[in-house]
Amino acid sequence: MNEFTAQDIEAVYRVIAARRDMRHFLCEPLDEPLLARLLAAAHLAPSVGFMQPWRFIRIRDAALRGAIHALVESERQATARALGEREDEFMRLKVEGVRECGELLVAALMDGRERFVFGRRTMPEMDLASVACAIQNLWLASRAEGIGMGWVSLFDPERLRTLLRMPEGSRPVAVLCLGRVPGFYPRPMLEEQHWAQRCELKDLVMTDYWSDAPAPPSGLPRAAPAPAATPAP
């Protein structure tokens, strides 16, 4: 009945489990047919009302890559300051591999999205959800091919949009680092570095109604500063 064999199913679960957000890369380019396969996998993602809102910009120019790295570095420092007590710990983490990775992509939402209302009249953010599904496809296909990927969201989207001469209404949502890696982390790097812990699945699944007292996520930042606009109680 099911055209996927037990071995196929096992491979799918295994790639889901082995996928990692990578920040360490070997400086080797990817070959074009491989990149084409990965992008084709992204393009097979679901999208709300079949709107296919994803756009990908390949960064080939070295100076442009450097400018993107500078944007990321600027936001890394701003994030560190916003983290307060965990600033030093955050600054010791490697959070991106923009300069080293073999292929740098920017994934973006297209402009003109307001024309699409199917599944978005009350939930306009479903276009971002669609792009995220495309990126997850790309991530899983990469992992199966032995290629690492990291999703960097440490940037000011307006500054990146301007840098890449993107039209108003479009929005970059990910700087994607792809490439060969010295090895895949056995566990998520932020777990290995004790930044946060994996929650227990049973604490995240409820029945019929929201549970009054779900266990607090174990991945909660230890020093959780409230943003200025919403002071902590």
70 vs 195, which CB is nearer to a copy of itself?
Answer: 195
Q: Which spans in 32-156 are helix H? A: 32-43, 62-82, 87-92, 126-144
Q: Give, as ranges, the residues between 166 and 185 that touch a copy of itself (CB under 8 A).
A: 166-167, 170, 173-174
Number of residues that bind a copy of itself (CB under 8 A): 113
Tokens of 104: 């740098």
- 120 is an interface residue for a copy of itself by CB under 8 A: yes
Q: Give, as ranges, the residues between 192 and 211 that touch a copy of itself (CB under 8 A).
A: 195-196, 198-199, 201, 204-210
Q: Least separation, in Å, of the C-beta of 100 and a copy of itself?
A: 19
Give Cβ neighbours of residue 47 (< 8 Å, ≥ 6 apart).
53, 54, 127, 130, 133, 134
68, 163 in Cβ contact below 8 A? yes
Please identify which residue in the block is written with the tokens 């070295």: 62
Round to whole Å and give the CA distance between 191 and 148: 18
Among the listed residues 26, 28, 29, 58, the single contact to a copy of itself using CB under 8 A: 58
- 215 is an interface residue for a copy of itself by CB under 8 A: no
Tokens of 18: 């082995």
70 vs 144, which CB is nearer to a copy of itself?
Answer: 144
25 vs 116, which CB is nearer to a copy of itself?
Answer: 116
- 135 is an interface residue for a copy of itself by CB under 8 A: yes
